[in-house]
């Protein structure tokens, strides 16, 4: 069983490997290659802060119901 799982993991990982030259030959547009990753990095802090603020707000309302 463990042998089958390790072989499956090896096959999946080996299919994902690519050299930088091959990875750059995907045929994607400039927007997909550059703009989306940069936008993702710029939006990540706002998404994280929004999630944390939502959790705090939900917990605050639950505590007010208890009092």
* pLDDT of the chain, 67 residues: tens digit per residue: 667 777 767 766 665 555 656 656 666 666 677 787 888 889 889 999 999 999 999 888 888 777 6
* 30/34 Cα distance (integer angstroms): 6
CA distances from 53 to 33, 42, 45, 61, 67 (A): 31, 18, 12, 12, 21
pLDDT of residue 52: 93
pLDDT of residue 56: 92
pTM of the model: 0.49
pLDDT of residue 23: 57
Domain holding 19, by residue range, is: 2-66
- Please tell me the total count of domains within the chain: 1
């Amino acid at each position: 069983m463990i042998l089958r799982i390790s072989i499956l993991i090896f096959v999946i990982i080996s299919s994902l490997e690519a050299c930088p030259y091959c990875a750059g030959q995907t045929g994607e547009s400039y927007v997909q290659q550059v703009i989306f990753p940069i936008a993702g990095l710029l939006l990540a802090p706002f998404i994280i802060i929004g999630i944390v603020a939502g959790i705090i707000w939900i917990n605050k309302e639950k505590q007010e119901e208890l009092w």
